Homo-oligomer: A and B are copies of this chain.
Amino acid sequence: MLMYDLIIYDCHILTPDNHIRRNYDLVIDAGKIADLQPTGQIDLGQAHELLEGREMVAMPGLINTHAHVPMVIFRGLAEDISIERWFNEFMWPLESNLIEEDVYWGMLLGLVEMIEAGVTTVADHYFFMDQAAKAVEQAGMRAALGWAVFGSQGYGALDETAAFVERWQGRANGRITTWMAPHAPYTCADDFLRATVAHAKRLGVGIHIHAAEEIGQTQASLQKRGLTPIQVLAQTGMLDVPLIIAHGCGILPQDIDLLKQAAAPVGIAHAPKTYLKLGMGLTPILPLREAGIPVGLATDGAVSNNTLDIFESLRLMAMLQKHEARNPEIMTIPQALEIATRDSAAVVGLADKIGQITPGYLADIILVDLSGAHHQPLHSLTASLVYNTRASDVQTVIINGEIIMRDRHILTLDKAEIIRQVNCSMERLAQRVPDKRIQVYNP
């Protein structure tokens, strides 16, 4: 008899067009989705392992298209302040305290938080990324990792980030992809960006960068050099390789035309909680989508977002689009779910592998429990996924066909030990030494 690795039986399934099929069985084998059928048609005896899915929705694992996961170690340290003070008086001074070990434990802590919240893939942009990669490998997570670099660090540092790309590309059973990760046009000179593109082309990878984070940056760039940050990306060849642009709240209409003509895939990472908290405005999602440029959900780091909760990003994204347009009919539930699933997969360059429950796709699946009082009665399961679901409703997390969390218990990591280790360094990490910072914010 043909045996499968895993069958999830009697669950509801979120379809690729973002509707619900009730009472289905989902077959997983060799890390991929093998089959889905109405409950009762598949012989459950064919499974090495069974998971019951009653009152749960099986949906694609959530994708965090832009984060600085290890920053969880600093969360709560920079509140109610301007973006300039956030960088210059808090974030960049705090980051001068970082040692390799902090990144390892911080990454693990952030991975615990994300797995518990149903995130199965993260595009991370930070320092000491060998440590982050090691943590991803242990956790069983999928990740698109880039070692962040400022122009001020010089070409030697850039070469090292390229060496990281080579070292980890395709590792952890293919769960890790690697990206070049220059910080931003306002911290990297044009030649530095061009050198990054050369590395990306040589290595066959993409680039993950911050750009046009808010309109003030765009205005400063226009004033200093007559070019928007997106025009700088175009002129330095960045649009010739796959590109993740973080934030883009300062993207102008002419920038969208440029992005539309990009020679390689480009996607925008949207982290609404950060934008609200720092008063940055919002990414122009509707015109970007109209131009065919995918927008994905993100959290950014936990010092601005405070948490790494993509269900919260999803809900905020949808509600804020309605609010800004004063039009409740836009950004419908299926559209919001499309952004959370297929479009987020496209942003991290994995549109043909994750983000939908379709046979042949990788088995990155979460089971969301909709039996709680805050979902009942369940007139609309998709409305509940967008507007009612809390991170704590995620019951089970499967990545690459492996069960990573079962009944809210993470199987791959020792959560208590991770929290203990992070707490040991709290005091050292919170110190801000006058004039000690890794960079100055002056876009």
Contact = CB atoms under 8 A, between A and B. Distances in A.
Interface of A: 72-77, 79-83, 86, 109, 112-113, 116-117, 273, 275-281, 306-309, 319-320, 322-323, 325-329, 331-333, 371-374, 376-380, 383-384, 387-388, 390-392, 415, 418-419, 422-423, 426, 430
Given A113-B373, A320-B276, A415-B373, A80 B328 contact: yes
B373 A112 contact: yes
Contact of A308 (B325, B374, B392, B415): B374
Contacts of A329: 80-82
Given A277-B322, A306-B383, 15 more contacts: A75-B377, A75-B379, A76-B387, A77-B380, A80-B329, A81-B329, A109-B373, A117-B374, A273-B319, A279-B325, A373-B419, A376-B423, A377-B422, A379-B426, A379-B430
B279 A380 contact: no
B391 A390 contact: yes
A307 B276 contact: no
A276 B323 contact: yes
A391 B312 CA distance: 13
A79 B335 CA distance: 13
A118 to B, nearest CB: 13
Contacts of A275: 323
A60 B112 CA distance: 30
Question: Within the oligomer, what is the number of copies of this chain?
Answer: 2
B117 A383 contact: no
A307 B379 contact: no
A158 to B, nearest CB: 32
A377 B423 contact: yes
B76 A378 contact: yes
Nearest to A387: B306
A415 B76 CA distance: 35
24 contacts: A75-B377, A76-B378, A76-B388, A77-B379, A79-B380, A80-B329, A81-B328, A81-B329, A109-B376, A117-B374, A273-B319, A277-B322, A279-B326, A279-B327, A279-B328, A281-B326, A306-B388, A307-B374, A309-B374, A373-B418, A373-B419, A376-B423, A377-B419, A392-B392
A288 to B, nearest CB: 19
A304 to B, nearest CB: 9
Contacts of A276: 319-320, 322-323
A123 to B, nearest CB: 20
A191 to B, nearest CB: 34
Contact of A391 (B81, B109, B374): B374
A95 B327 CA distance: 24
B82 A328 contact: yes
A73 B328 CA distance: 22
A72 to B, nearest CB: 7
A72 B329 CA distance: 22
Contacts of A72: 376-377
B307 A387 contact: yes
A371 B117 CA distance: 15
Contacts of A77: 379-380
Contacts of A112: 373
